[in-house]
Structure 1
Amino acid sequence: MNLAYELPWYRDFINNSDLVFCDGFGVLLGARMLGYEVSSTHRMTCPDYIENLGLACEQNNVSLFLLAGKPGVVEKAITQLTAAAPNLQVQGHHGYFEKTGAENERVIQTINEFSPGILFVGFGMPLQEQWILNNIERINARVFLPLGACLDFYTGTVYRGPEWMTNRGLEWLTRLVTEPHRLWERYVIGNPLFFYRIFKEQLRKSK
């Protein structure tokens, strides 16, 4: 939400999407503070539903291409997904490649040869959204699904924290402790900034 506030192109990306879902407690809390009727049932976190997605793709003959993570993460995710959905049509490629130039073209060619029904893109925000915008017209996929670090969590490559914390909106604290150098700005600065902006919007609406 902070990115959407600060980057007009990113805000347009969200507003022009066919489907937007909430994967964080902060957004739920902010929405409640602004008077919207939402509950925890509206929260969808990809690591929790990715196997159901794989099963649905298998049952409906929809192919899935995973473009995310460090080398080795996609292969582990595919192993786990096909254990749950043995007939799933799935391929993948790691996300650590040059996003322009010859290497990018080779990745796009690999995707197009597979021609997936769903392309899962997990580079982190806002890089994944920018890559989709830059390449969407040249990629043979029906659905583009940007989902950040989902595969890292799904495969256990990155620790999400105990379930009692993730179910109570404290996953951010675990991530901050495990990756402080990378995520301190997002949470130490970003969390108060988000609620400051919610407070400003409350004042604006009250007037």
Structure 2
Amino acid sequence: MSEASLENVAGYSVYAKGLVACANEITEAIARGERPRWLACLNPHSFAVALDEPEFEAALRDADWLIPDGAGIVLASRLLQGAVRERVTGADVFHGVNQHLNDRGGARVFFIGSTEETLGRIREKMALDYPSLQVVGTYSPPFKPEYSETELDEMVAAINAAKPDVLWVGMTAPKQEVWIHRLRDRLDVKFAAAIGAVFDFYTGRIKRSPAAFQRLGLEWLPRLLQEPRRLWRRTFVSAPIFLGHVVRQRLRSGSEPRA
């Protein structure tokens, strides 16, 4: 990936070229199959969490594509006079890449995360939405904060036995990013993506905010009203922390001498 595709936002190299270019690049990488490459999402909350979790920070920096999954990242880029012009969510990438692969004649995909019920619904829906794609496996891991080495070995073995091209990882952050970061070199896949709640969005178990809210950068608002206990920290703690770092970056860049 060229440096022109990336922008420094609060110290992270964020993908700046938008959804269409991102989906194209990922599809081409899958076609080449040179090595496992992967995608993670950056938003103000993940930025704030990573400040206190070094392994999560390392995982975010390791991702081949770190997409601006949050209106706050787009606003930060504008404040920094940067090039990020659109929010790119995990759901956008999921649909964009699947559609590209479906149009090109197919691929083998694997889903890890969530419940057996949700994974079963994904299988059914994928067969209808992307008939050229083959879901070669699903895996519902134990719901626990840390996995044992035996559990990790079992997950890797199940994935590699299915020989997927694409691995969609739907655990919670930061667990899913750290999981890919730790196991990347052991996974026999061409592309992996940490996409969090997309499994639930895709099956309809959790409704995304209306399109109008998404366009206005307010997708967080209906979700906050629906799940205030779980999401209040993202809005009232993480967002101000992130903004503070962005403002400091802007002040530093403004004080640097120009050539």
TM-score by length of 2: 0.71
- Residue 44 of structure 1: aligned partner: 88
* Range with greater deviation from structure 2 (135-144 or 145-154): 135-144
- Please give the root-mean-square deviation of Cα atoms over the aligned residues, in Å: 2.1
- Residue 182 of structure 2: aligned partner: 134
Trace 1:47-58 onto structure 2 (pairs within 5 A): 47-58=91-102
- Residue 220 of structure 2: aligned partner: 172
Structure 1: how far apart are the matches of 2:101 and 2:148?
30
User: How far apart are 1:12 and its partner, in Å?
Assistant: 3.2
Q: Summarize deviations over 1:8-44 as a string: whole Å, max 9, x none.
A: 443333333222222211101001101103322xx22
- 8 Å CA contact 2:91–2:195 kept in 1: the answer is no
| 1:19 and 2:35 correspond | no
User: How far apart are 1:146 and its partner, in Å?
Assistant: 1.0
AA paired with 1:87? Answer: S
User: How far apart are 1:57 and its partner, in Å?
Assistant: 2.6
SS at match of 1:72: helix
Trace 1:147-158 onto structure 2 (pairs within 5 A): 147-158=195-206
AA paired with 2:133? Answer: L
What stretches of structure 1 move > 6 A for 4+ residues in a row?
A: none
| 1:70 and 2:115 correspond | yes
Q: Summarize deviations over 1:53-82 as a string: whole Å, max 9, x none.
A: 223333254211111223311221222122
- Residue 31 of structure 1: aligned partner: 77
Percentage identity across paired residues of the two chains: 28
Trace 1:91-102 onto structure 2 (pairs within 5 A): 91-97=137-143, 99-102=147-150
- 8 Å CA contact 2:105–2:132 kept in 1: the answer is no
AA paired with 2:208? Answer: R
Structure 2: how far apart are the matches of 1:60 and 1:130?
32
TM-score by length of 1: 0.87
- 8 Å CA contact 1:69–1:96 kept in 2: the answer is no
Structure 2: how far apart are the matches of 1:102 and 1:5?
29
Unaligned 5+ runs, structure 1: none
Q: Summarize deviations over 1:68-123 as a string: whole Å, max 9, x none.
A: 22331122122212202213111322344552243333222211111111111121
Kindly indicate which of the two structures has a greater share of residues assigned to strand. Answer: 2
| 1:124 and 2:164 correspond | no
Structure 2: how far apart are the matches of 1:64 and 1:157?
21
Structure 2: how far apart are the matches of 1:112 and 1:37?
38
User: How far apart are 1:49 and its partner, in Å?
Assistant: 4.6
User: How far apart are 1:3 and its partner, in Å?
Assistant: 3.4
Structure 1: how far apart are the matches of 2:94 and 2:254?
40
SS at match of 2:65: coil
The number of equivalent residue pairs is 205
Unaligned 5+ runs, structure 2: 1-46
- Residue 82 of structure 1: aligned partner: 127
